[in-house]
Amino acid sequence: MRTRIAPSPTGEFQLGNFRTALYNYALAKNTSGAFVVRVEDTDRNRYVEGSMERTLEVLEKYGIPGDESPLVGGPYEPYIQSQRLELYKEYAKKLLDSGHAYYCFCSKERLEELRDGQRKSGMAATRYDKKCLSLSSEEVQKKLDQGEPYVIRLNVPKDELIKVDDLVYGEITFDSNQIDDQVLIKGDGFPTYHFAVVVDDYIMNITHILRGNDWIPSTPKHILLYRFFGWEDRTPKFIHLPLLKELGSSKKLSKRFGAVAAMDFLKQGYLREAVLNFVMFLGWNPGTEKEIYSLDEFIKDFTIEKIGKTDLVVMDREKLLWYNGHYIRSLSVEDLMLRLAAWAQEHEIELPQADKKYHLEVLSLVHERMKTLSEFVPLTHYFYADPKVDPSLIVSFGGDESARIIKDLLSLYKAVDPKKWTSADLDELSHSYVTNGGYKTKQVFMSLRAAVTSETATPPIFDTLELLGKETTLRRLDSALARL
């Protein structure tokens, strides 16, 4: 199978489009076909500089690059529509000649009036009234010669039922009277999406179209085009996918809830395999209880039959977070460090300085506590620099005896043989202090934790002290004591 995505360079590549890309990629790969990336930059007004490059880059980063794309080329070059303008004109001409398309010279003002009038009269959908269809060829030629601006419209037949055969939704029937005479070539000579997509999909031999179900209503226009060109036998299979929605909101993805651009998830410290795994299940599932999927496994198991019919899929960011934690935990500490370093470098995030051995030890303590790479710094700051400790935090655990506890621990730890500065020894020593002093374990250990780390949640406290070392521990206790 040959599949494609057709991103338009009008902004950042969003997660919804990314999901579509992933499914297209998987379908092509599991049939040893090709996944095409074709940039649809036919809207000059909305064109955003650099958008195409970033889209191609993000596909690359997630490991689902196009087999054919503006980046790597391919047998049907070019893969950027603005470079294929002549082609569209040529094909528009064919439709013009066969009477399936016509020139329209109506002004924007007239079209607006038309629409307003139709709306007021309570007409269902607003449609062009085919006024210019009645122009004689002489009149058309005359206007053309005079250089009057024009568009080319599709001549949609009256009173016909147009059937769309969708592989997940089944057969959907549309009344042609509901369909507008779609503009095919715009006033600036650029094709509209509807026209360019059909021409290019045909030329590029695309066999399956997976796209968001917001495209369902325009599919009959595309079907008509295939028919008018005489390409019925090469009409691709249509597969429409549920749209993505934000949890807690009634509508589409929103920045209010966090990242929406596929690239941003990476930047925020999500692992690509986690985002991939999360996205796979937004509209598809294998029908088994397997939930952890690598890209390769997904490619192997992905089938159209298992795509869900649901209309809207809510993306639950909590689940993504869980996936991310899962993948972080499944990494070795060494690998995690490599990933962390690469991530920090790529996104210009500053990591604390220390030698590799120390980093690894810190990492092994917070490994299972990290849900995103970006949590590393807030989770470990006290391993790298003396924290500012709020005395009241210590008091909130130690009460009136806070100063005494810290003082006792300080002298207790001072006497420890540096060679015996280990988690187990400190644990034993401290526990006997708690018992002998008649304290509550929580009172003592939480005071200690707060004094040394300024946090209430850390790895086991004696593991922490061991790694911090005797000198640092004493220094921090000393400074905490001074402020109590």
Partner RNA sequence: GGCCCCAUCGUCUAGUGGACUAGGACAUCAGGUUUUCAUCCUGGAAACGGGGGUUCAAUUCCCCCUGGGGUCACCA
Q: List residues with catalytic annotation.
A: 255
Report the residue from 3, 24, 69, 458 that binds RNA according to the rule CB under 7 A.
Answer: 458
Which residue is it, tokens 């592989």? 167
Q: What sign does the CA torsion over 321, 327, 330, 333 have?
A: negative
Could you tell me if 313 and 282 are in contact, meaning their C-beta atoms sit under 8 angstroms apart?
yes
Q: Choose between 415 and 457: whose C-beta lies nearer to RNA.
A: 457
**Residue 345 Cβ, how far from RNA at the closest point, in Å?**
26
Nearer to RNA, 42 or 235 (CB): 42
For residues 319 and 326, give the distance between their C-alpha atoms in angstroms, rounded to a whole number. 10
Q: Measured from the CB atom, is 30 or 218 closer to RNA?
A: 218
Q: Which residue among 165, 188, 232, 471 contacts RNA (CB under 7 A)?
A: 188
CA angle 443, 405, 478 (to 5 degrees): 125
- The strand ranges marked E within 225-346 are 237-241, 243-246, 312-315
Interface of this chain with RNA, residues 227 to 256, rule: CB under 7 A: 242-243, 245, 247, 250-252
Give dist(CA 389, CA 410) in Å, integer. Answer: 16
**In terms of CB distance, is 90 or 188 closer to RNA?**
188
Stretch that binds RNA, among 48-56, 176-184, 265-273, 466-474 (CB under 7 A): 176-184
Residues in 380-409 at the binding interface with RNA, rule: CB under 7 A: none
**172 lies in the site for RNA, by CB under 7 A:** yes
Distance CA 252, CA 14 (A): 11
Taking the complex as a whole, how short is the minimal distance between the CB of residue 427 and RNA, in angstroms? 7
3-class secondary-structure state, position 14: strand
If the CB atoms of residues 34 and 151 are measured against RNA, the closer one turns out to be 151
* Short-list 14, 43, 16, CA closest to 214: 16
Interface with RNA by CB under 7 A: which range of 71-79, 92-100, 344-352, 437-445?
Answer: 437-445
User: In sequence order, what are the residues at sequence separation of 6 or more whose Cβ sits closer than 8 angstroms to the Cβ of residue 80?
Assistant: 38, 39, 41, 52, 70
Question: Which residue, 134 or 250, has its beta carbon nearer to RNA?
Answer: 250
> Please, are residues 26 and 298 in contact by the beta-carbon 8 Å criterion?
yes
The string of DSSP letters for 20-80 reads: HHHHHHHHHHHTT-EEEE-B----SSS--TTHHHHHHHHHHHHT---SBBTTTB-TT---B
Count of CB atoms situated within 10 Å of the CB of 56: 21
**Which of 194/272 has CB closer to RNA?**
194
Q: Which residues are CB-neighbours of 334 under 8 A, at least 6 positions away?
A: 360
Q: Does 8 bind RNA (CB under 7 A)?
A: yes
322 binds RNA per the rule CB under 7 A: yes
Tokens of 419: 């060679």
Question: Judged by CB under 7 A, which of 98, 141, 254, 310 binds RNA?
Answer: 310
CB of residue 283 to RNA, shortest distance in Å: 5
Q: Min. distance of Cβ 55 from RNA in angstroms?
A: 11
Positions in 276-305 near RNA (CB under 7 A): 281-285, 287, 289, 291, 305
The single residue among 83, 178, 332, 411 that binds RNA, judged by CB under 7 A, is 178
Residues 11-70 that bind RNA (CB under 7 A): 40, 42-43, 45-46
State the nearest-atom distance from the C-beta of 348 to RNA, in Å. Answer: 27
For residues 83-122, which are near RNA according to CB under 7 A?
A: 106-108, 111, 115, 122
31, 176, 218, 422: which one contacts RNA (CB under 7 A)? Answer: 218
d(CA 295, CA 4): 18
- Residue 311 interacts with RNA (CB under 7 A)? yes
